Structure 1
Amino acid sequence: MKILGFYSELWSPKAGVPAGSIRDFVRPDPQADESEVVRYLGAGHELIVFMGAVGDVLGSEERILGGDNIVTDGEWVWRADLAFYLQRYHVGLPGDFLSTVRSSHYVVPSVDRDRLLRIDEEVGLIL
């Protein structure tokens, strides 16, 4: 399991050493396929669902419904609000994740129930 969007503002210190502050990953312009990547993030398999909304850690007044939900594609896990940060602030994402997304033609693969349960257990240890 790999954590996508492992920014200090979004994940518990129990998850390990973050990539840094989300502020360090904000870019002025989107990548050419950003909208497809946003859709991919939104189509992941939900592992953990929380009631409520979270605020934008970068300071806008926007609130993201279900933003702290945890989602996966079977390899990576991310918070649901990552799609918001990508779309609004064009945050940079790891090249190996983007390669996986592009090679899958922006379609989240199916993941069997046993794999989802194992990932859920791993995530439970770091929240």
Structure 2
Amino acid sequence: MMHVAPLGIFGTIASQSAFSENSDELRRRVGRIPEGERARIAEYLRSGTPIIALMGFSEDVLGNKFSRTGGTAIMSDGCFFWRLDAADYVEHYGIEMPEDFISHGNSRKWVPPVLSREEAAAVDRHLGHLRRIGAV
């Protein structure tokens, strides 16, 4: 089974209302990514492979700077998985990302791999397993 790690606070499969409960944790992480680095990290997050396409609508829980159709969708690069709206939080607020993700992105020069159908299916199966055991 393929192993993909949750991308910190964004590595959850949750409705918008459930995710909004993380607003205090998000506030503690604001400004941790310098403005000059935010765009490339946000683009990487937006360019991941969609794994679980959800029709949910997400809204900024910090300052109403953005909203995103499908923002609760789950994306992956084969190593990590995250909510699509993670890109907006990085871009607008510089929300801190785990150091292993930053190292991984830097090693790839912030160009995400395109997952094959088989790789995406393996990530989906792994996420299904995590949901069954209550880990995400």
Give the TM-score of the pair, scaled to structure 2.
0.75
SS at match of 2:40: helix
State the one-letter code of the partner of 1:53. F
Tell me the percent identity. 31
Cα distance in 1 for partners of 2:65, 2:92 equals 13
* Distance of aligned partners of 1:75 and 1:54 in 2 relative to their CA distance in 1, 3 Å threshold: same
State the one-letter code of the partner of 1:62. F
Cα distance in 1 for partners of 2:89, 2:63 equals 11
The total of aligned residue pairs comes to 120
Contact 2:38 2:91 in 1 (8 A): yes
Q: Which runs of 5+ in 1 are unaligned?
A: 13-17
Instruction: Out of 22-31 and 93-102, give the one that drifted further.
Output: 22-31
RMSD: 2.5
Q: Which has the higher helix share?
A: 2
Aligned to 2:5: 2
The superposition leaves residues 87-109 of structure 1 with CA deviations (integer Å, 9 ceiling, x where unpaired) of: 11110111111111111111111
Q: Which runs of 5+ in 2 are unaligned?
A: 15-21
Instruction: Out of 107-116 and 23-32, give the one that drifted further.
Output: 23-32
Give the TM-score of the pair, scaled to structure 1.
0.80
Instruction: Out of 72-81 and 25-34, give the one that drifted further.
Output: 25-34
